[in-house]
Structure 1
Amino acid sequence: MSTVDKMLIKGIRSFDPENKNVITFFRPLTLIVGPNGAGKTTIIECLKLSCTGDLPPNARSGQSFIHDPKVAGETETKGQIKLRFKTAAGKDVVCVRSFQLTQKGSKMEYKAIESVLQTINPHSGEKVCLSYRCADMDREIPALMGVSKAILENVVFVHQDEANWPLQDPATLKRKFDDIFSATRYTKALEVIKKLHKDQALEIKSYKLKLENLQNLKNNAFKLRESIAQDQEQTELSQNQMQDLEKAIQNVDVKIRHTEATLKELRDKVQQKTVKNAERSTLINGQRRQYNDLDEENEGLNDGMENKFDERILRLEGKIERSKREIKEFDDMISAAEKKLTNYVTEISKLQRDAEIHILSKDERDSAIQKLFATHNLGSLPSNITDAVALDLTDRIESRLTDLDNVLQSKKNSNDKELKMAWDLYLDANERWKNAEAQKQAKLEIKNAILKRIEGKKIERDSLELQISDVDLSRIDEREKNMQIEVERRKNQLDQRNFGANIQQKWQELQSIDQKINDLNREKSFIAVDAEERVRLSLKKNDLENHKKKHQKL
């Protein structure tokens, strides 16, 4: 508990600036008695000024507070207040405040000269003096005494002109009570907590939006994987169809060679037919000449020979009929062969057109492969791209697609893990923040209860002071001392419960979560770039699929 021991007053109001007036304060009670104008109120004003730095009311900015130079017959007077008190920790401290009032013509100039705190070094026993600005001194002394400035101003060292503040208007009364009980600080703390809660709610909302966006990216990636799998299946089907087409082309080549051999045989048979026709014509003409010769030579032959000749003629006519039938059969065979030849020629021309289309498709395939390799830096290409080389290059493109798919999958897995870790950290931080807020609320309730108890104890103390003449003073002193010790202990407990450190820790955790989210955003941008590359690859694959469809037509 902080106590006031002594105070030196010099050059303040009616106190002579040349004499040092020392007042010793006794415990538990000091009574100040004197006639009007003796300086009773001045003592209270000096106590208040030493502890809070506030001038008393109606002091005219300090001009009427310092001893008048005209009364002293000087142009300048100096005032000084020294106050020795014990801090809440039981340490002796001396507060020194010096002032100066100068007469300049018809005007008075007030000035605060210096503010000094004197303490004793516990190790060396030497006196240590520390100079402060007035504002720093005004904050330092209430902190050393363990009492707020509002309590010193309005309760402990209240001026008699301001002692009726409990009867003032409600707004002023509320402001006074808020200052005394430091309610404004807790209100601001609650506002800060509410603001943090609102900011965290907004961050949760933004995280949810980012999570939905990442989920959409994940779904798109799955769709891309499915499309890649379908493209791979179609590529395999196209390769199988190309192999079937190559086999069909080989079979057509065999048929073409067989047709050429058949055509050659037909041409030989046509030549043989021409030779046979010539021979037949020659034989018929010879037989006709022989028949005419026989008619002329054998007119005189007998009837028996004529019958034999007729039989021979009939046999020859039968041979002629057979020869005609053979010639007709040869003609039919030649016409059939000519039809086959026409069909074969048509098929050969069609196959030639298909071969030309195949060559064009092959050139387009080669150019598409060259563009793919040049665009995506897949390596060097041979000068002559055969079917085997094209299959090898297609396998290389598919392996590249597989590698890209694996990289994308690994990035997706890492992003999912990091997102899950960030979400877990956020939930953990939110849970700890809720627990801290609940603990803080409970501590606030405990503190309010303690403050109420303190107020009750103060009321009880006031009632006991009224009955002090009838009660044993030693018991009252002991009880008051115990109460002060209890109040000090409660206040120390409340001061040790530092909420600012917990809030700072939560804020650092939120900043770390923001950093992880930024890393995830960078990974997302990388995934977007990979997705664009995959779209380009899908376009190239569509072109390749079109070329393969052209091959299928063959």
Structure 2
Amino acid sequence: MQGIRSIGADPHCIDFLKPLTLIQGKNGTGKTTIIEALNFVTSGNLPAGQKSTFVHDPNVANKIRVDGMVQLKFEDVKGNEVTGTKRVTSSISNAGITTKSDESTLKQMKNGKETSVSSKIIDYDAEVMTRLGVNKAVLDYVIFCHQEESNWPLSEPKKLKKRFDKIFEVSEYVEIMENIRSERKELNKKVSELDNEIQNHLVGYVQRSNDLHNEIADGIKMQEIITTNLKKCDEKLERLAKQISECNAKKKTFDELKSTIEIQKATIRGKEDNLENIDVPDYNGNVKELQKELDEAESKKDYQEVKKKQDEFNKEIVKIDNEMKNINLEITKVQKKINDLEVIKQRKNETKKEREQLIQKIRKKYSFDDCEDIEEAMEKIKNEKETEKQEIMESSKAKIGQIFQDLSSANVVVANVEATIRSKEADILRLNCEIKSIERDIEQIGASAERSSKLEKEIAKVESQLSGEESLEVLEKNFLDCQVAVTQRKVETEEYSKIIIAKHNYTKKNDELNTAMKKSEKLLSEFFESPIQKNFNRQITTLKMDLEKNCLVADKSFTTLEKETAKITDKLNKLKIKNEMNDSTVKQNQEQISQMGVEPDKVKDKLDKIRSDLKEYREQLGEKQGSQFLYKKWEEQIAKEKNCPLCEKPCGEASDVQKLVTKRHADLPSEIEELNESVARFKIQERNLTHVLPLVEKMETLLNQTSGELEKIEKIEKQKATKEKEKDAAKKRLDDARKKLDLVKTLLGDAKLLDKLIDDQKAAKESVEEARSQLFAKDVDKSEWTVEQFEEARNDAQTKMDNFEAEAKTTDLKVKEIRTKTTELQKLKEEKLKIGEKALQPAILTKSKIEKKARISECQEEISKFDEQIPDLKKNQRKLNFDLEKANAEFESKKSEIATFMNDFTNLSESLKITTAKLSTYVLDENARAKLEKEMDNFTERKSELERKKVQSANKEDSSK
């Protein structure tokens, strides 16, 4: 245990002894803590307060974090060594003390191999309980039962049973049994209820079944009739609907044809009138001339107005057609509604007729007057039949009840007589048995003299056997002496065994200590110059603290160097990225410059040369352009003034001068064009080089920067290499320190074991000394004995103890044999005494036999009288049974008759109600029909009016044409 309640950060180990370990101590020394820790590591249960009070307080430990651990090593049900470890942590934060569970592990040694599983993979508590072979209830109520609840076996039976069910894992089966009992009780209740119902209703079910069959047959016949009528009605309706739809279609076609005929007639009449009014002389020209005149006429204003009016007439005709179409649709809808009303009216009349026929049938069947209201009359008959049914049931029940009462009385009388006969017969049988017993006793009394002599011989024989044995007191004294000797030898054997066990335990602990020392010798020699023999835990804990400090220093140094290396690496990476970007920019600039066909270092020189050449060519171009102007001017001046344009002197031949000037003037355009092309070419080169020049300057700047940055990179890389070496050295120191710390932690566990083994060895040695001192105080001659001598002495004592036990057993058998014979002698004497007493009883037994025979005769006479009464009683019983069956049959017959009548009556009543309800659903509104007919007339008039308008519009159109 470590970090649990009052147990601090140092682990405490407890080795539980076999077969029992007693934990003793004052209040607050941790006895309960041990049990709670065992409960926690096996079942996961925590005491009141949960983890916060279970873990050692960090404030008391003066630490920020306390790690609690409980580790239990045990053998599972298969004999494998298992180590279970549960961990909890408690830490101080801003919110207070926080406690939480950590990962639990379960290690197993099987066939020399160690396997481990974590609580992340399995249910730790369930796995531990499985390996221990007990359930949680056994752990809670038996193994780790709290002292305040240790009296639970004395609790109430119900609570006690629940706990035992949990302990023996039968709670589920108990619950199943309770469910079965409750279900069985419920089912038995239902069975009894069903039996009662069957008993009460079985008689009427057959008759009711027959009635239902008759009702079903009548209903099927009526249903067939109604179905046939419905089919006929549906067929008739379908025919009528088909005829109506055909009539509507024909009417619609007729109306359309009629309207078309009227329109055609009106059109024909209009055209005839127009034809009569036309008085146009014959045209004298040809077709082309006529076409020309028609075109001229169409272009005139009068013709355009006529055409416009014609379009208006056409629009009006289209509008009228649309309206007529809508009116036709409305007429169709109204006609459909009228047809629906006709169908409803027809169905209503048919339903009304069917209702009248049904009423006539009811009046005829039940003899109702024609003036009497059918519903009131049917209700009256229904009430009369209900009253009649009630009277019949009451009278039948009274009659059946009286017969049943008489039958019950007769049954009671018969049962009493039969019971009396059985009682008398039993008395006769008993008296006969008693008489036989008396006769046997009388016979035995005759043979008692012979039996008495035999008993005297047996008594003498047993007494002679007892006289040859030792006295019971001597044997009992010998038995007690043997028991005392056995006890003494047993105490002596136990004392020898105690010394032998203590010796063996000391040897075992010594071997374990030597083995553990040998196992840890190599690690101890690495950390300690001189070997240590005691206080391993304290010295290794001190070493662990020193190594933890070294680890912290090494970790801090490594972290600092790692951060510095990261900074240098980051700075180096940034410089490299910048340098790469500069190189990329320089390459791009070089590519752009190389596209100009010039080297970057010659751009400035070439640009200066191009600018110089451009200036020169521009000057030449200016001169040529000025010469062109002068030559032109000179040509005009020579032609006009006929003298030299430079010196203004008269020329010899003006034509020669004119030719010369003209020739010079003719050569100038080609020269100017060449100069313009050169200037344009140089301008392009200048512009391109001007654009490239900033790139060259930028490239030079970047190259200068790159050279400086390369020097920085080289310097930083050297710094990085130095820091990397320092970091690797620090990492190595940290790894070495951690490795040593891990070894020391491993060694710390062994150290705790070594300290414990040393303490165990010391305790075993003290046990040996204590056992020797207790034995040697009695016998000082054995102070120098070895273990083998003690074992030999123990074996001798054991042999003597076995001999004394055998002797005691033999003595005990003799004592039991003597006691058995004494008891047998006592019984023989008692039997002899009883035989002597029976010799005086023959007269008494003879008198008792005569009395019992007289009593048998009386019982036989009484039985004869009762046998004479039984036939009359049975006859009366059969008559009452017949009367009861007859009354029940009459009652059921009347009941069936009334039920049949009521069934027919109810069917007719329901049919009448259904027909009446069906009739009420056919609501026929005569006003609605009149309204629809009025709408139909209005639509027809509107349609005629529109047809007239259409004819008038057509006539106007023709007249306008």
In the superposition, the TM-score normalised over structure 1's length comes to 0.33
Structure in which a larger fraction of residues adopt helix: 2
Larger radius of gyration: 2
Q: Which structure has the higher relative contact order (CA within 8 Å, separation 6+)?
A: 2
